Structure 1
Amino acid sequence: MADLAEARAPSLAAIEVLAHEAFGRLPEAFRTLAAGVRIAVEDFPDDETLAEMACESEFDLLGLFRGVGLAQAGEVVTGQMPNMVWLYRRPLLDYWAEHDETLGHLVTHVLVHEIGHHVGLSDADMAAIEAAADA
């Protein structure tokens, strides 16, 4: 228990490292489809996002894809923001505390799910990608 006595909640930077490591373990074909998608980590979604997603609490959203999905892609519009996946640290940590899975698995799951929206994958496709990353 001595290790836990000094333990601290992972920082924004630590979650970002977990996300980039998780991305690196995903199948190459998936990473190729997701080329150019940026990963950002914040403590919580902003108020505009919470309202847009009809969240009852700032803990309701673990991650979010923002941008133009491949299915909707067309000409790049000047001033268009880059495609991004947002991971929300505090909701992730809250979910992690209440469930029996590793933080790395949870971050991978949310990352795959959000990038999956970008590339238009089914839930079954996303589950197979997660399983390949865990292998």
Structure 2
Amino acid sequence: MTDDDLTALDAEFEATVRATIAALPEPLASACKDVVVMILDFADDDTLNEMEIDDPYDLLGLYRGVSLDQRSINDIAREPDMVFLYRLPIFDYAEETGEALEDVVRHVTIHEIGHHFGFSDETMEAIEAESTTVH
């Protein structure tokens, strides 16, 4: 794969993340506008160690923050909620499974944003089914 191929894949990846977030149904879209989405190649070593993950390809995404269902008006100021998407493991997963990259990015993005709301896996699946397909 050439550098130009990687640049095109990076642009496609970022565009898919943006389109996925834009396609979230209301009121979710409005409620997650303050969530920071970071795209990194891999999780850092501290994160992998904290989660007891040996292979960095095993972590596709991560939510860091306090989910809305766990917050209190008595909370002190905290860091912003963040969703981390790990680009290279997502590319690898899409290639290994034969799933379209757009579908994997969409699934991981919605899943991690769902953690911001404290949603169950079943609720996240329903949101994914309700949101517009990105292609």
Question: Fold-level match, TM-score > 0.5?
Answer: yes
The one-letter code matched in structure 1 to 2:27 is A
Aligned-partner SS, 2:39: strand
Question: Please, what is the CA RMSD of the aligned residues?
Answer: 2.2
SS in 2 for 1:59: helix
Partner of residue 8 from structure 1, selected from 2, 5, 10: 5
- Measure, in 2, the Cα distance between the counterparts of 1:131 and 1:39: 21
Give the whole-Å Cα distance in 2 for the aligned partners of 1:41 and 1:76. 28
What SS does the aligned partner of 1:8 have? helix
Equivalent residue runs for 1:62-81 within 5 Å: 62-74=60-72, 75=74, 77-78=76-77, 80-81=78-79
Alignment of 1:1-135 (within 5 A): 8-9=5-6, 10-11=9-10, 13-74=11-72, 75=74, 77-78=76-77, 80-134=78-132
Instruction: Measure, in 2, the Cα distance between the counterparts of 1:63 and 1:21.
Output: 17
Q: Take 1:5 and 1:59, find their aligned partners in 2: how far apart are those partners?
A: 21
Structure 1: gaps of 5 or more residues: none
Instruction: Note the alpha carbon deviations across 1:32-88, whole angstroms, 9 max, x for none.
Output: 33231111100000010000111111111000001111022134534x221010000
Superposition deviation, residue 16 in structure 1: 2.5
Identity fraction in percent: 41
CA distance in 1, matches of 2:43, 2:3: 29
**1:99, CA displacement in angstroms?**
1.2
Stretches of structure 2 lacking an aligned partner (at least 5 in a row): none
**Equivalent residues, number:** 130
- Taking structure 1 as reference, are residues 91 and 5 closer, same or farther at Cα in structure 2, changes over 3 Å only? closer
Alignment TM-score, normalising by the size of structure 1: 0.85
> What letter corresponds to residue 130 of structure 2 in structure 1?
A
